[in-house]
Amino acid sequence: MEARVTAHSRYTIADIDKRLYGSFLEHLGRAVYTGIYEPGHPTALPNGMRKDVIDLVRELDTPICRYPGGNFVSAYNWEDGIGPKEGRPTRLDLAWRTSESNQVGIHEFAEWAEAAGTEMMLAVNLGSRGLDAARNFVEYVNHPGGSQWSDLRRQNGRAEPWNVKLWCLGNEMDGPWQVGHKSAAEYGHLANETAKAIRAFDDKLELVVCGSSHSDMATYPRWEATVLDATYDQVDYISLHMYFENYEKRTSEFLALPEKLDRYIGTVSGVIDFVKGSKRSNRDVKISFDEWNVWYHERKNDAKRMREWNWPHAPVLLEDIYNFEDVLQVGCIINTFIRRSDVVRVACIAQLVNVIAPIMTEPGGSSWRQTIYHPLHLASRYGRGTALQLDVDCATYVSNVSEAVSYLDIAGVHDADAGTLTFFAVNRHSSEAASIKLAVERFGTIRGVEHTLIKHDDLEARNTKDNPDNVSPRKTSDAVMDGNSVSVSVPPYSYSMIRIRL
């Protein structure tokens, strides 16, 4: 199978916001407890945070991390997680039917974020609570001192404010499963009033309003139109969420799902433009795709277990063990975000540790990279710069979500500072290698090329504690320079990074 790709310096999409490669930690299962936090672990820092996990997060170069939820935030009292640990209450978490010890709160998470080299993206509770609790939380986190909440922060051991810039106005408020679920009109009014109060404190903060939980919601996309009509002048982003499933084990259909993702982004982008035009506004609202991942391996089993258990603390929950097939899907999803980086400015893989996550831990033991860690790592490290509008000529196939799915899914990024062009490519064909010819126009002279490949003959291959590198990247010598073009053959069902030095 032949594929011709042309990159031209004059055809660009947008400068990529580094937060496109963000992540997410929720008080859910073992994401926090025995995930990032485990006092007594051999690598634990004095504050109880696992140093081995911090090292893996730093390796990912995670620019931002959303916290504390997720569904958890919609019944969360942020005040429960401050002050002396021995005085913090244990609460019942209605979202995941577990108990929450509150041993990790904003102070502990902030210390972890600083050690992990990531910025905080905080969510406020607009489910069971509202404007007053939200503005108090912002004051506690961001005000220097001289007020009730900022002085309480100082009393609790943090003199300087954290100056968190990005705030989520609730979570998935369109979902009937959400504690405090509201109609679009109800939520739009509350979110707008909360945003106004937060902006009265600091009008430079960035605010994210809730969009649809997924594109199959009955209220989509009317939800976006109603909520944005109520909040457009006060917010900077609207959130979207999507999870990818393959219950029927049909790889070609599974790998076509990013076409549905692309339409989802395009539709909401159109709604944004409609509301902006209706209001005659000069303000630009973008998309924060702050929950995404493959999620189906343990989902049905865990839904049944949750209904039967009796409020355990930090149980094993939603711990999908990812396979090589999921590498291909995650690669296609990230490529979609790069190609839509003009409107998708923030994205957060859900989640970061143990719970549907690229990093796994053993209590008291080791940590390791899941298969999906690798495409995220390569994109985060080398996908910074300007997204390119590529011309791609490749065979296509018919799927349930699109009549023309390209066998080659590819995105390109120009890093002018580093003097590189980087292409991330997924061969969706089950049996044919893709012979790719990359033509590079008006970028200067090609001085070198390297090819990094992730390939395994078994789509079900997984990384485990005992075999952590079963699926991992390797360098090849397959890429060949030919003047101002590069030729490389990539195997069927494979993920590649082709990096050109200029």
**One domain, residues 350 and 402:** no
β-pair partners for 293: 243
Number of domains the chain contains: 2
Note whether residue 361 is domain-resident: yes
From the list 288, 444, 461, the residue with the least C-alpha distance to 374 is 461
Decide if 291 is catalytic. Answer: yes
- Tens of pLDDT, residue by residue over 17-41, are 999 999 999 999 999 999 999 999 9
Judge if 32 and 167 occupy the same domain.
yes
**Distance between CA atoms of 210 and 202, rounded to whole angstroms?**
20
Q: Which of 113-122, 302-311, 382-391, 427-436 is the least confident region?
A: 302-311
pLDDT at 192 exceeding the cut of 90: yes
Catalytic residue of the set 26, 119, 259, 291: 291
Domain co-membership, 228 together with 294:
yes
**Is there a domain that residue 53 lies in?**
yes
Is residue 52 domain-shared with residue 144, that is, in the same domain? yes
Is pTM beyond 0.85? Reply is: yes
Of 120, 198, 194, the residue nearest 164 (C-alpha): 120
Name the percent of the chain lying above pLDDT 70.
Answer: 100
Helix (H) or strand (E) holding 341: none
* Position 376 in a domain: no
Helices (H), 279-399: 299-308, 324-339, 373-382
* Domain, as residue range, for 239: 17-313+339-371
Q: How far does CA 1 lie from the centroid of its chain?
A: 32
The CATH number given to whatever domain includes residue 487 is 2.60.40.1180
Average pLDDT (359-378) is: 98
Mean pLDDT of the chain: 97
Statement to judge: residues 89 and 127 lie in one domain: yes
Among residues 119, 172, 206, 224, the one annotated as catalytic is: 172
- What confidence score (pLDDT) does residue 303 get? 87
Mean pLDDT score, 97-115: 98
When pLDDT is cut at 50, 70 and 90, the band that residue 319 belongs to is very high
Distance CA 347, CA 357 (A): 15
Residue 447 token pair: 């001085």
- The pLDDT of residue 264 is 98
**Alpha carbon distances (Å) from 439 to 108, 429, 463:** 49, 22, 36
CA proximity to 425, closest of 364, 378, 483, 485: 378
146 preceded by cis ω (within 30°)?
A: no
* 306 and 453 belong to one structural domain: no
Residue 28: C-alpha distances to residues 71, 105, 185, 317, 422 (Å)? 9, 14, 29, 8, 36
pLDDT(95) > 90: yes
Return the CATH number at 121.
3.20.20.80
| Residue 124 in domain | yes
285 torsion bin: left (phi>0), alpha (psi -120 to 50), beta (else): beta
Closest CA to 241 of 334, 178, 172: 172
Residue 136 pLDDT greater than 90, yes or no: yes
pLDDT in tens, 232-279: 999 999 999 999 999 999 999 999 999 999 999 999 999 999 999 999
CA-based nearest residue to 462, from 470, 453, 474, 473:
470
The first and second tokens of residue 182, run together, are 């509201």
User: Whole-angstrom Cα distance, residue 70 to residue 239?
Assistant: 12
pLDDT per position as a tens digit, 328-338:
999 999 999 99
Q: Are residues 406 and 458 in the same domain?
A: yes
Q: Please state, for a pLDDT cut of 90, what percent of the chain lies above it.
A: 98
Shared domain for 225 and 125, answered yes or no, is: yes
Residue pair 74/33 in contact (Cβ under 8 Å)? The answer is no
| Number of other CB atoms surrounding residue 428 within 10 Å | 25
Is residue 175 a contact partner of residue 220, using CB atoms and an 8 Å limit? Answer: no
How many Å apart are CA 366 and CA 363, to the nearest integer?
Answer: 8
pLDDT of residue 331: 98
Question: How far is it, in rounded angstroms, from Cα 440 to Cα 225?
Answer: 41
Same domain, yes or no: 119 and 148:
yes
pLDDT band at 160; cut points 50, 70, 90: very high
